[in-house]
Amino acid sequence: MTLIKSISGIRGTIGGVPGDNLTPIDIVKFTTAYVRFIAESKPARKLTIVVGRDARISGAMADDLVEGTLLGCGADVINVGLCTTPGVEVAVTTHKADGGIIITASHNPRQWNALKLLNADGEFLSDAEGKRVLALAEEEGFEFPDIDRIGKVLSRSSFNEEHIRRVLALPLVDVEAVRKRGFKVVVDAVNSVGGIVIPELLRQLGCQVVELNCAPTGEFAHNPEPLPENLTEISEVIVREKADLGVVVDPDVDRLALVSQDGSMFVEEYTLVAVADYVLSHTPGNTVSNLSSSRALSDVTLRRGGKYFASAVGEVNVVARMKEVGAVIGGEGNGGVIYPELHYGRDALVGVALFLTYLAKNGMTMTGLRKTYPAYFASKNKIALTPAIDVDKVLHEIKERYHNERVNDIDGVKIDFPESWVHLRKSNTEPIIRVYTEAGTMAEADALAQRFIAEIKEICHI
């Protein structure tokens, strides 16, 4: 059981001891600190905050606590209820709110929940802003407003249909082209909010939908992270139903994994690659992904005449880099597509609509499209942190050992070899060191990962 405070928000397991877990006391404490932070830049002004949540079991309880705390701090609330992370982000700007709180632990298992904090642009707080919230959470002496200055609930209404409408209105989303193809799509929404929005989006695109784990009960049918080992059921259903493809989302619908018509994984890394390929074919420009993402995006970007740039891991870092270089498309290799034409946030709805438009227009099957991209294989491993592991020492030692290679240390250490790469970093969301590698074959990627895991253990004498 643990409470993690990072650039990804306040995340922890429900229940247990305050300060060690995400308890009601912690939810109130960090929500109060967040309101105080927003108020610092808008003194003497009535604040409006958007609140939304995924379908996990603790969501309703956390929603009540967050809403009540915001009201008690003097902020008005727009509660959009069951809503995707990207939906809440768009709702903040649509309602011209001062910020937003998304109650979701993303891909974490059912016992976890989290507070993801947004600014007035519907984007995640920066590292410095997040640290300010944490500092305020430890300050004492805050005086809550009296009865005449408490907040009120301005509305309680879903934003999901409006989010879908805005996605379908994007210039590069060709609804008619998709309708003409008449795709049959299997959807696995892991029994969270994606089960509400993804089937509806697909039906409005003229697709025949087969729903799998789409009841928003919060009882995840399998490990909610959309990795191949968790997606055997949808693969079987796609083949049995003779579907054109499968769509898989995580509990808050900011990650998109695709499955081909033969049940094989399109591979989560290639979600962004394919969508970027389509966008760049109509809107030449630059792209950005984080250091742990596939080299394939760089290859496709260069082929389309643009420039590729890397950022530190974390959506806020990708967004900042995208703004710096004027990227027309970007995201993360975990299936997170960021398309600034709608908003600066990972959005599976945008990813689905753009991808299906591309697939419809080029007339290919999923497996046919996948073969048009460079074949890279990623191995994603982790080492549990123990007192024996000094992360800074590990990274410094590895950097020194490989100083003659192309090394990037903006986020951990990434070493680019001619035909492969390895990225070592401390996770923002779990007490682990991530060891990500990519190479031309799975065997080579796995071997590279095991080589560096062995080096880490050697450095730490474990």
Instruction: From the candidates 58, 106, 293, 311, give the one annotated as an active-site residue.
Output: 106
Asked whether 369 and 296 are in contact (CB, 8 A), the reply is no
Q: What Å distances lie between residue 264 and 38, 49, 381, CA to CA?
A: 46, 42, 21
Instruction: Tell which residue, 245, 301, 247, has the closest CA to residue 273.
Output: 301
* 3-class SS of residue 278: helix
C-alpha–C-alpha distance, residues 178 and 440, integer Å: 33
Asked whether 258 and 271 are in contact (CB, 8 A), the reply is yes
Amino acid letter, 340: P
Instruction: Tell which residue, 291, 434, 330, 442, has the closest CA to residue 376.
Output: 442
Q: In the annotation, is 155 catalytic? A: no
Q: What Å distances lie between residue 91 and 86, 150, 211, 251, CA to CA?
A: 9, 23, 26, 18
* 3-class SS of residue 69: helix
Residues 6+ apart with CB under 8 A from 137: 29, 30, 32, 33
Which stretch of DSSP H or E encloses residue 460?
helix 442-460
Catalytic residues: 106
